[in-house]
Amino acid sequence: MSMMFRPPIATMAAIGWKQVLGFGHGDDPFFARVRAAQLAVLNRYVPFNVGLFMVNAVMLAHALRNHPRAGFVVGWVTVVGALSALWIARFRRNGPELAVETVTRTQFWMITIEVLAFGLLWAVMELVMMPEADQDGQTLLLLLSLAAMGACGFATAIMPVCGLLTTFCVGAAMLVALPAGSPLHSPAVIAALVTYWLLIARGVMVTSFALMGRLRTQESLAEQSEVVRLLLNEFESNGSDWLLDVDAEGMLVHVSPRLAQVACRPAETLIGMSFVQMLGTPMGQPGTAALRALVNVFRAGQAFRDLVVQAQVGGETRWWALSGTPKRRADGSFGGYRGVGRDVTEVRRGQDRIAQLARFDPLTGLANRTLFREALEDALARAGRTRRSCALLFIDLDRFKPVNDAHGHAAGDRLLGLAAERLRVAVGGGATIARLGGDEFAVVLPGTTERRAEAVATAVVAAMAEPFALGEQCLQIGASVGWAMGPGDGASADRLLKSADLALYAVKSGGRGAACRFEPAIRARAEERRTLETELGGALARGELRLAFQPVVDAHDEQIVGFEALLRWGHPELGNVTPDRFIPVAEETGLIVPIGHWVIEEACRWAARWPANVTVAVNLSPAQIDDPRLVAVVAEALAANGVAPERLELEITERLFLDEKPSTTARLAELGALGVRFALDDFGTGYSALGYLQKAAFSRIKIDRSFVSRAGPGSDASAIIEAIVRMAGSLHMTTTAEGTETRSEFETCRDLGCSQVQGYLFGKPMPPEEATALVVPSLRVFAE
């Protein structure tokens, strides 16, 4: 039976039944502290336990209001209420935490008797009311008494004598009060009551054993503290750390040579000094939060571990990690602290450097993505509170990548550092400037106006347009800025980021080197572009792409000498999507590569049906030139369709050479080795640098329509065309006048020496079947 009341885990073997029940230990200080701990737990739950008892009492009084002895019930409830009020008043005086270190046996048994009074009151109620109650009343009394037993057992679980006697009184009175003839006075009910009391009794004993075992363990640990102190003395004598020993007022009691050394003061001057004062950090300065925490734990008498505080030592700021445990006097009162300290200044500085790297870009010293995101969200939150807008600027360096590729990463890093300095000057104070990665920057302007945001964006563009002096070189890159206002253009960080990004994309699409404010039309264009991108991804597989061929005519005999293959897209819902809408999307998404493969294959397939002297021209974009499979694709298309390489002409524009990548020249050389020819398209619209003509073995120059349409006797356009024709002739190249739409334009270009013409005058882009019909029967001559 005794095993039933033992705890499920081992406690201290020295604790026996007599000690648990509160007998046989005299004035042992340990059990005085046990009694204090028992009363502290009891006091903590006074409001709940008393309230629960009163609820049961009121429910019982209400149920027995028609009982012959209803007057007794009223008096009983009054007594219970008075006793409850006494306990509540004591609780309010003591507070939830009973600040008592020890309790005498007399005090403890007085409290025990007061608690037992609740059980006796309930027993009296049962003895008086149960015999004269009807069966329903008896049942209710039984249920409420069981609840009272459970409540008393819970409330006094750490006071075994009190718990056992209180619950026994309630249960025994219940059994005695039940009339012999009552249906409830049965062996089953009696057995259930006894079992219920035994379970409560076990819970009380197990809890008491566990509490005393825990306190005994704490006592043993306290007894070992002196041994630990001796070990710490040995440690301090031979180690680099030092011991901390202060009294209850925080004054240094013992100062070891090591502590005097790290404090840079004589030991005798430190004894009796406040440890907080010795640290020398005035409250209110940076680093005083930890010092305030140290003062608080000193006042509370709590143990602390690895509490890092700031100390002023010899005019230098140092960081110390402190650990300490409270000392107890003989009477158990708080006597100060013993602990250990060590200098962690280098560790702290390393942590600060890591924190710096976690929030700032190491290359430029600007905020990184993490800090930028925090600043943006804070600016938006502040804008919501103050109704003052914030601004977000996205900045992209325009020609940084070519500079980085041409001059190396070291030069690129220095250039980014110089760009960051210019950003700081252009943006000014009160803003967060961040490097998001690569050559992308962002600026958050909290509490600003649209006018200032526009001024900052303009200043950034102007600052970046100025040349950068990098050693002996002078580099010019420029910048594009897209900006948006929050919360108008986006109430959330993600929404505002998207708006600014769309504005930046609009700038880059329009030619770069400018600033653009976000507007709803930009979002609409972006949504249209997203639709095009989605649909274009499957256009090739769905067979929606087709080629149209526009004739290229010999300027002297007006006979067709070739066709230019032009890509067309017919979508079932979007209709005929013009090339100027979907080609840029294809280039940016990389879809131009598989589409370009198909165009080359399809153009060669139709060219195979034409006479051997009719050529086909295909446009190539920079993305296609970067494709390592391009040479193989061209070779396979020529071989599979039996087309001679010289019949295939690849048209490229000047923008292919802007990045000055060696791989571009190498790829063109590989294509030239196959025997295909090259044409420089839209000559005269870009930089028109003559050096580009040396990048590939060009056989033809295509003169842009902007010159053809303005050509006439004595015009500047005619002079330019004539100069281009002479230059091409010197380089053994032919020339094609694009966009020839009238007979007059044709004759002017012919008279200026153009070799070929292309335009609506001789045919619009047409289906491949119509183009084939023009050249297969015979070489057709176009009449006026």
Q: What CATH number is associated with residue 321?
A: 3.30.450.20
For residues 604 and 533, what is the distance between their CA atoms, to the nearest angstrom?
A: 27
Over residues 4-11, the mean pLDDT reads 48
Specify the 3-state DSSP secondary structure of 317: strand
Give me the helices (H) in 27-104, please: 29-44, 46-63, 70-94
Q: Give yes or no: residues 122 and 160 share one domain.
A: yes
Q: Is 368 domain-assigned?
A: yes
pLDDT value, residue 382:
92
Q: Give yes or no: residues 487 and 553 share one domain.
A: no
> Residue 628 CB: number of other CB atoms within 10 A?
8
pLDDT value, residue 607:
96
For residues 211 and 579, what is the distance between their CA atoms, to the nearest angstrom?
A: 84
Kindly report, residue by residue over 301-310, the tens digit of the pLDDT: 788 888 888 8
Q: Is 529 domain-assigned?
A: no
The string over 384-421, giving b where at least 16 C-beta atoms fall within 10 Å of a residue's C-beta and e elsewhere, is eeeeebbbbbbbbbbbbeebbeebeeebbebbbeebbe
Q: Is residue 706 pLDDT above 50, yes or no?
A: yes
Of the pLDDT bands very low, low, confident and very high (cuts 50, 70, 90), residue 97 is: low
CA distances from 235 to 242, 275, 345, 544 (A): 8, 21, 21, 83
For residues 115 and 121, what is the distance between their CA atoms, to the nearest angstrom?
A: 10
Handedness of CA 310, 313, 316, 318 (dihedral sign): negative
pLDDT value, residue 491:
92
Closest CA to 664 of 699, 627, 702, 701: 627
Boundary of a domain, candidates 220, 249, 283: 220
Kindly report, residue by residue over 394-430, the tens digit of the pLDDT: 999 988 887 887 788 888 899 999 999 999 999 998 8
CA distances from 98 to 116, 536, 678 (A): 21, 77, 96
For residues 707 and 682, what is the distance between their CA atoms, to the nearest angstrom?
A: 10
For residues 275 and 249, what is the distance between their CA atoms, to the nearest angstrom?
A: 10
Handedness of CA 748, 754, 755, 756 (dihedral sign): negative
Q: How many domains are there within the chain?
A: 4
Q: Give yes or no: residues 154 and 287 share one domain.
A: no
For residues 336 and 229, what is the distance between their CA atoms, to the nearest angstrom?
A: 14
Specify the 3-state DSSP secondary structure of 709: coil
Q: Is 479 domain-assigned?
A: yes
Least confident of 407-421, 572-586, 682-696, 750-764: 682-696
Q: Give yes or no: residues 622 and 547 share one domain.
A: yes
For residues 342 and 322, what is the distance between their CA atoms, to the nearest angstrom?
A: 7
Q: Is residue 490 pLDDT above 60, yes or no?
A: yes
Inter-axis angle of helices 105-129 and 70-94, nearest 10: 160
Q: Give yes or no: residues 402 and 453 share one domain.
A: yes
Boundary of a domain, candidates 172, 197, 220: 220
Q: Give yes or no: residues 134 and 27 share one domain.
A: yes
Please classify residue 508 by burial: count the beta carbons closer than 10 Å to its beta carbon, then call 0-12 exposed, 13-18 middle and 19+ buried.
middle
Domain range for 274 is: 225-351
Inter-axis angle of helices 187-223 and 225-238, nearest 10: 30
Q: Give yes or no: residues 184 and 236 share one domain.
A: no
Q: Give yes or no: residues 571 and 439 share one domain.
A: no
DSSP tag of 477? -
Over residues 21-35, the mean pLDDT reads 63
Closest CA to 628 of 682, 681, 675, 671: 671
Q: Give yes or no: residues 583 and 633 share one domain.
A: yes
Percent of the chain clearing pLDDT 70 (strictly above): 82
> Residue 49 CB: number of other CB atoms within 10 A?
20
Inter-axis angle of helices 369-386 and 345-359, nearest 10: 70
Rg (CA), the chain: 47
Q: What CATH number is associated with residue 384?
A: 3.30.70.270
Specify the 3-state DSSP secondary structure of 444: strand
For residues 95 and 99, what is the distance between their CA atoms, to the nearest angstrom?
A: 9
Question: Can you count the helices (H) and strands (E) in the chain?
Answer: 29, 20
Site of tokens 């882009």: 765
Q: Is 780 domain-assigned?
A: no
DSSP tag of 255? -
Kindly report, residue by residue over 177-194, the tens digit of the pLDDT: 777 777 777 787 778 777
Q: Give yes or no: residues 687 and 730 share one domain.
A: yes
For residues 700 and 396, what is the distance between their CA atoms, to the nearest angstrom?
A: 36
Site of tokens 């939830």: 96
pLDDT value, residue 784:
39
Q: Read off the pTM.
A: 0.48
Phi-psi region of 575 (alpha: psi -120 to 50; beta: other; left: phi over 0): left
Q: Is 526 domain-assigned?
A: no
Which residues does 760 contact at the CB level (< 8 Å), separation at least 6?
739, 740, 741
Boundary of a domain, candidates 220, 245, 270: 220
Which residues does 477 contact at the CB level (< 8 Å), separation at least 6?
397, 398, 399, 400, 403, 415, 419, 464, 468
Q: Is 164 domain-assigned?
A: yes
Would you state the structure tokens that stand for residue 320, as one six-digit string?
A: 């110390």
Of the pLDDT bands very low, low, confident and very high (cuts 50, 70, 90), residue 83 is: confident
- Are residues 513 and 398 in contact, defined by beta-carbon separation less than 8 angstroms? yes
Q: Is 61 domain-assigned?
A: yes
- For the CA atoms of 111, 113, 118, 123, the dihedral, rounded to the nearest 10 degrees, stands at 170
Q: Give yes or no: residues 165 and 301 share one domain.
A: no
Q: Is 782 domain-assigned?
A: no
pLDDT value, residue 42:
67
Kindly report, residue by residue over 543-583, the tens digit of the pLDDT: 999 999 999 999 999 999 999 999 999 998 888 999 988 88
pLDDT value, residue 157:
66
For residues 175 and 193, what is the distance between their CA atoms, to the nearest angstrom?
A: 8
Of the pLDDT bands very low, low, confident and very high (cuts 50, 70, 90), residue 658 is: low
Q: Give yes or no: residues 473 and 585 share one domain.
A: no
Peptide bond into 96 cis (omega under 30): no
